[in-house]
Structure 1
Amino acid sequence: MFGGWAHVASLPEDLTGKERVPPPAPTQLDFPSYTPQHSPSPLTTASSRDLFHLLCSIKKPQDITPQYLQILSLSVIPNASFQDLLPHVTEPVHQGGEHVPPPDRLQQTVQELRISHSDAFREVVRLPPLPGHAKPRLSRTRKFWTGLQRMSQFWDCSMDRYYEVADTEDDSSSSSGSSDPDIEMSQSDQSPPDRLPSSSSPDGPQPAKTKQVYKGRRLNDGSAMPSNFRDEAVSALVECVVWAFNCQVRAPNLPPRLQVRNLLFPVRQSFIVGRLPRERELGRRAVLEGPVMGICCRMETIFRPDCMTANGEVGGSSGYGMKLSEVVDEWRGILDLAREVGVMLLLAQERAREGKGEVKPGEGKWWTATPRWGGGPGGLMESEILTAGRDVVDEDKIATPPPSENASADESVDGTTPKPSSTETLLPRAATHPPVRPKRKAIRDISDNNERGGVQHKKGSKPTQTEKWKTLRSGPGIWDAKMRYMRIGAPKSISQAASPSLPPSPAHAEDKAEEIEDQIFMVTSINHHVALTSMQVSEAHLAWLAGEERKDEEREQGLQLKRTRWFDLFDEADRVEFVQGLWDVMAWLMRE
């Protein structure tokens, strides 16, 4: 019964010892190198409108130009340290606080990350350890090693080994051919007559035919790797750190969209890091607090123009011969930077929703409150409701029609009912006296339902398509119902200003004119590398994106993005350094 399943499930095997056809050449590592340095500019209403029109005009990725980053007044600081990402604050970080775990948990995670690739990969694919090696224990980092083992099949070149072996395919094909002499004779007659004789004499040694084979971990090149392999490895590595701080990594429940005025611009956000609430009921509903930070993974592997030559000139059919410093076609690097900025601005908008209520599109407008379906009962729409296949009438509550006033005329003087005539006997009673059909409950309630903005239906019954169409309601919101928006890690002045229940701090009451900035963090990933980015977004920037007019709009404001260097996940020292730096950032966000 289950014999056929053995051919479907593949047994675990060690790819490093399997001889096979060489995979494609390894994908060359390439990283975006576009670093604009725009000076701060005023956040005016005109510039906000210009950004809105530019975003509306995008039809393809090549439409992203440096003009977008220039309007944002964006500057980039690459190769920053983890301490440079944190703002200069005087608030102490309590390492033994309620939300900060002890350093022992970090040491356990680092110890598992220092395991050799061969031992960890054999453990996740359930192979016995190598002779003389102990079985590793993977408790906190098993999901990361599973994702890294899948990535190694496309990126890990450390075990690549190419060599030549004797090619026996021709001999086997000739020996397995037909032995019929007639077929062999016909095949010899079809050989071309002008074939040149072999250069080697029949008496001399014949050169052995060889072919190239491969042993290693790779099955294909890095550009062919599915994007979910990178997503699993990066999210698992981040979760190794944030889980110790009572936080969780999950995918967005709604499509990530950046709001610029009344435009919802889609951005590429892979995961969200949120804090688990203390309330047990909210925890059962999978509600998170935050977002604390975001994760953005990209599958692109080329970030420079395809026409770039080795000497730094741009070739192609145009033939302009421009130098590398004059190239303006680095749209891949600009696009990648724009994606990072878009996700970080979205995180800033979500964190700024603390203490506020969602206003859905069209809420309170006349087109979501005033019925406008012709008025009055009856008509085509009403008949569709009655014939929708749903019984809206309670048969027990249908009242029988009252007796008519002339009922006594139909009775005889002695109180007996007279016999019907011959004509009445031939015709059914329904034809002579058709009964008065009671008016259905849906007909009686249509006018009342229209006044209340929709059709009311019985409890437990599904509304029809007509009822759904006639229901007046506002558009769907863009807030996640399973996210309690909070500015976790922000200065106390921001939280008090955002929450109406908390009184403003006296120390910051006089500094109202000074803009308060929120620190946004995001883990970004390219190829098999990760980095941590940080950006400070002020209230003026959020109001400028929403199109609100401010009195201090002439004040110069700029965005500054800081990014660490790229850490290689296949390098032991790099991934340990990244985890330790991320631990320090989380400790600062979860400070008392």
Structure 2
Amino acid sequence: MFGSWSSYPVGDGSRSAVICQIFKYKGPLTFPEYSASAVSQESSSSSSSSSESTFAVPDGERNFYTYFAKIKRATDVTPQHLDVLNLSVSYDVPVEDLVGGKEWLPKDEDDEIWAERKRELLIENDTAYQVMARIRRDIKLGHMYKFFQALEMVTPYYGMPDESEAAASMMDIDSPSPPSNDNGKRPASEEAAGTAKKDRASPESDPSPEGKKEEKFSMPERFRDDLVKNFVEPICWGHGVRVYPPRAPPKLHVQHSKFSVHLNYHIHWTPTDSQEARSGLVDGPALGMQIRHEHAFRALNDPAAAIKKRRKKLMAAALAAKGILVVGDDGAAHDVVGVTREIAALLSIAQMRAKEGATEKKVRFRAIGKVEGSYWDDVFMVSSLHHHVSISHLRVSKPYLRFLRTGKMPNPHHAFIKEGGWEKLHLNKTKYYSLMVPEDRVEAARALVTVLKYVTRNEKKM
């Protein structure tokens, strides 16, 4: 329906303008991971319970605050910074482990809203595109209509999940046109795909040495934003929460420093009081949403091709001399920047939730889903990479959050502190689910519904 938007620029009204090219994603769908360095593992095994060693900064650094005050952007963060935060990460964690049991998993027979979302998400992509082009009228897309609109915009850039390049090359731009819709126009998916075919056939996109320029992945970031938002939002409607852009630029407070945080949306609870709801007041945040637009990752032992082997060895030796583990034994890409952005976003959400009772950013801050009287807060976030989504979970203690804001260590004689573990951060992530595959996006929705049911379990329903 709207696929032509990605093919034709908005100009001075003349349709003779140059067609914007759609460059399909050619690289592998990499999902880099992060593991704590050897330095962290050694320090954690030998650390004492004293406050001096709880957040031990590297030799030569004055203290925790000055060490982190030097950071200007996420790319300045090293594995050693994450070690000081006492961070560990687990991947491909079942969603039931994030919420402490299977009781929150949705069941078709007990949840009519979930059953309806599941039915809509199981609709095949091509079928949905035909419905939007009014070729088919026997199927209703329901609440997921905008999701399929966004998916149709993304598809030309990534291709269908089971599509091979050989199959794609069989599309002939001179072949008879497919069935048209009521307005005599081609379906958006066919029109965008046809444009992509022309791009592949043009001399400008010829990857050979004689070609004019190399193909680049060129999907606008708003396409991915719309895809993820329009997937999450209809699922939230059935659980009393709504998706909102941050009311103010998100920040992570580390004593006197404020770090900008990459956080696209907050998911807030809508008050049950009708007057409060009409005034725009919201509670929370209950969850966050972070959409990443990086698409190419390199192993840290494989810098850009332009860097010569000698320089690579010198760099690795310099980092090793500082005690920084550059790569794992498998040589996989270690996503230091990505995990930094996730942790910063989750901690910023936790800091907002900790301002219990305060009202700003028409937001009444409170920790939706937190066990009353607990020193622990469970913070959740929907994260996205490529055309996939995952659920992230961070468990953080009240003393940890207070230390970040004030630099004050807790009373070592307090019973909770004596139990140990308050100074640790552990990030759990589910697997990444593809939103282009019907069965996969149903599992993503199931994971999100599970978290929403858990987080809103004690809230008064409308």
Q: Same fold (TM over 0.5)?
A: yes
Q: What pairs with 1:120-199 in structure 2 (closer than 5 Å)?
A: 120-124=128-132, 127-129=133-135, 134-157=137-160, 158=162, 161-163=168-170
State the match for 1:350 in structure 2: 352
- Residue 484 (1) aligns with residue 364 (2): yes
Q: Deviations over 1:540-576 (max 9, x none)?
A: 1111101123212785521111101110111111100
Q: Deviations over 1:318-351 (max 9, x none)?
A: 263979x853898971010010000111111111
Deviation at 1:260, TM superposition (A): 0.7
3-state DSSP class of the match of 1:70? helix
Contact preservation (8 Å) 2:266, 2:288: yes
Aligned to 2:187: none
2:433 matches 1:567: yes
1:86 corresponds in structure 2 to: 99
Offset of 1:589 from its aligned partner? Answer: 1.4
Between stretches 114-123 and 534-543, larger displacement belongs to: 114-123
In the TM superposition, residue 43 of structure 1 has moved relative to its aligned partner by 8.1
Amino acid at match of 1:558: K
Highest RCO, 1 vs 2 (Cα 8 Å, sep ≥ 6): 1
The alpha carbon displacement at 1:153 in A equals: 2.5
Counterpart AA for 1:581: A
Most deviating of 232-241 and 76-85: 232-241
* Correspondence for 1:103: 111
Q: Does 1:526 align with 2:392?
A: no
Q: Structure 2 counterpart of 1:543, which letter? A: R
**1:587 counterpart residue number:** 453
- How far the C-alpha of 1:56 sits from its partner, in A, is 2.2
Report the CA distance between 1:238 and its aligned residue: 1.3
In structure 2, distance between residues paired with 1:79 and 1:271: 23
Q: 1:505-533, CA deviations, whole angstroms, 9 ceiling, x for partnerless residues?
A: xxxxxxxxxxx211111110001111001
Distance in 1, matches of 2:378 and 2:116, equals: 29
Q: Deviations over 1:66-104 (max 9, x none)?
A: 111101111111110011111369xx86989xxxx9601
Q: Matched residue of 2:367: which SS?
A: coil
Contact (CA 8 Å) 1:302, 1:332: kept in 2 or not? no
CA-based RMSD: 3.9
Match of 2:34, SS?
coil
Match of 1:66 among 63, 79, 87: 79
Q: Aligned to 1:140, what secondary structure does the other structure show?
A: helix
Q: Distance in 2 between matches of 1:272 and 1:9?
A: 41
> Using the alignment, how far apart are the partners of 2:381 and 2:326 within structure 1?
31
- Structure 2 residue runs of 5 or longer lacking an equivalent are 1-9, 57-61, 175-192, 201-214, 318-324
What is the rounded CA distance, in whole Å, between the counterparts of 1:43 and 1:237 in structure 2? 46
Distance in 2, matches of 1:166 and 1:278, equals: 55
Q: Which has the larger radius of gyration?
A: 1
Are 1:551 and 2:411 matched, yes or no? yes
Q: Any residues of structure 2 matched to 1:235-274 within 5 Å, and which?
A: 235-274=229-268
Q: Following TM superposition, by how much is the alpha carbon of 1:222 offset from its aligned partner in structure 2, in angstroms?
A: 8.1
Pairs within 5 Å for 1:353-368: 353-355=355-357, 357=358
Bigger mean CA offset, 284-293 vs 327-336: 327-336
1:280 CA drift (Å): 2.4
- Corresponding residue SS for 2:426: strand
Cα distance in 1 between the residues matched to 2:296 and 2:449:
31
Q: Hey, what's the Cα distance between the residues in 1 that align with 2:219 and 2:67?
A: 33
Paired residue for 1:30?
A: 30
| SS across alignment from 2:169 | strand
Q: In structure 2, give the amino acid aligned to 1:545.
A: L
The question of 1:316 aligning with 2:309 is answered yes
* Amino acid of the structure 2 residue aligned with 1:33: E
Structure 1 residue 297: Cα displacement? 0.6
**d(CA) in 1 for partners of 2:124 and 2:276?**
40
1:211 is matched with none
Secondary structure of the equivalent of 2:309?
coil
After TM superposition, give the deviation of residue 266 of structure 1 in Å: 0.6
Task: Render the CA deviation track for 1:125-158: whole Å, top value 9, x for unaligned.
Answer: xx232xxx55421221112111111111211245
Q: TM-score, normalised by structure 1?
A: 0.56
Task: Quote how far apart the aligned CAs of 1:113 are.
Answer: 0.7
Contact 1:222 1:527 in 2 (8 A): no
For residues 351 and 99 of structure 2, the distance between their equivalents in structure 1, rounded to whole angstroms, comes to: 20
Aligned equivalents of 2:354 and 2:21: distance in 1?
55
- Give the residue type in structure 1 aligned to 2:34: Y
Q: Using the alignment, how far apart are the partners of 2:150 and 2:139 within structure 1?
A: 17
